Amino acid sequence: MAQFDSVNPARPSDVVGTFAATGAAEVDAAVTAAAEAQRRWAQVPVPARAEVVARAGEVLRRRKAELAELVARECGKILLEAGGDVQEAVDMASFVAGQGRSAWGETVPSELGSKLCWTTRQPVGVVGMITPWNFPVAIPSWKCFPALLAGNGIVLKPSEHAPVCAEEFVAACREAGVPDGLIQLVHGFAEPGAALATHPGVGAVSFTGSVPTGRKVAAAAMETGPRLVSLELGGKNAMVVRPDADLDLVVDGALFGAFGTAGQRCTSTSRLIVHPDVAGELVDRIVKRALDLRLGDPTRPSTDVGPVINRASAERIQSMVEHALTEGASVACGGRVRLDVEGCDGGAFYEPTVLVGVDRAHRIAREEVFGPVLAVMEVADLDDAIDVVNSVEYGLSSCIYARDINTALYAVDRIDAGIVYVNAPTIGAEIPLPFGGTKHTGNGFREAGARGIEQFSQLKTVYVDYSGRLQRAQIDTPGVS
């Protein structure tokens, strides 16, 4: 069986782990084992399952510093953000555990006498999960904890760039009491993901990643279905800045939104749609701060921006920036691949980049960059600015900076996105609220929040007629002749 290495993107000679690249046979064995464990797990009362999830959160909390160091080393996120990644999983465990003693359905009054009506949730069986590298602990927690609470078995295929983080997450779950065999891990590239999406023993598939891959996963899964398919895909997130905005706040938000995680979040701020009256000052201030950001080893507390995931990613970002220049944009700062960062031999870094003179029709204004590049567009009219926000195929996160609450709420109503922030950058959702987007960003499911469990369970409607006689809804309804 072929093997592959997971390496530190800041120093690729540093091998974090070596894994066997699995194929269809290994996926089949994993599904079979998870299904066997799931039959027993489904008989455990929901509040007892919730207690296991809560313990998993406590294990993660206890190991937070260690895991944050691993996330930084394997994925290139700076330590501060790596700690947030782990904390998100801790918080998700706490929230999901609380759902174990919350409503599991709804009751409604029957239109007939001596009859009860309610809904409940049932597990789907085995859930296949395909997760990315950029949130290597948080995203598995978004998927695994609700799936476990719902009574499912799990086969998790993490990114080939983050297998060690996935192993440690699953180890924390097992330490907390998740039964042996209930969570299976398969590693590798496209083959195990494709096998998982089409396996007849998989009742639901949850995928987070790029739009092209997500479409392939969905098409394959539905062709051999039926099964639940949840997609969380890309973003081209915009920050709208009005002339009355607090520019100090805007600068802080733009730096974190655009350059945090080296721009490698689906929620990264990729477009700055700013009123011309403040555009010059705002760009100058962002550029000044961006030039002070320190590139370096993400495990060092002094580092502000870590590497992109690999050399190919850096070259792809560079190609997009160069294409933007041919279309008429210009570089206000950055715009270069850096291979000379001290202490990071072989690591690929991309300078925090601000492009000005960008038009809404430019490729850099329409396509996801997945790198630390902020495209600036000057738009005066608010309705025109909202049109620019909505003009792309994505609809994940967006934001508006304005002191006037009427302006802000006007935009909130009209922006087509799953998440809208006012006076904060295009970051993700908090745990109790649903995360996801519109248009090509996803297919309607949401993660996190009370709705997070929907992609991992099926509704069952129950009627209990204790009248002792045949009653026919819509026929024997009282008062209907």
Q: Catalytic residue positions?
A: 232, 266
- Bridge-based pairing state of the strands 438-439 and 394-395: antiparallel
Residue listed under structure tokens 């998927």: 143
CA atoms within 13 A on the CB side of 434: 17
Which amino acid is residue 304, in one-letter code? D
Q: What is the side-by-side order of every strand in the sheet holding 153-157?
A: 183-185, 153-157, 126-130, 204-208, 228-232
Q: Helix, strand or coil for residue 365?
A: helix
Q: How far is CA 227 from CA 339, 463, 473, in A?
A: 45, 25, 31
Distance CA 252, CA 15 (A): 35
Distance CA 111, CA 109 (A): 7
Q: Helix, strand or coil for residue 458?
A: strand
CA 400 to chain CA mean position, Å: 21
Please say whether the beta carbons of 387 and 272 come within 8 A: no
Distance CA 176, CA 189 (A): 29
Q: How far is CA 12 from CA 338, 341, 342, 346, 373, in A?
A: 15, 13, 14, 6, 24
| Closest among 259, 335, 261 to 290, alpha carbons compared | 259
Distance CA 133, CA 77 (A): 10
Q: Helix, strand or coil for residue 338?
A: strand
CB atoms within 10 A of CB 227: 19
Q: How far is CA 264 from CA 27, 209, 310, 372, 467, in A?
A: 29, 12, 12, 7, 60
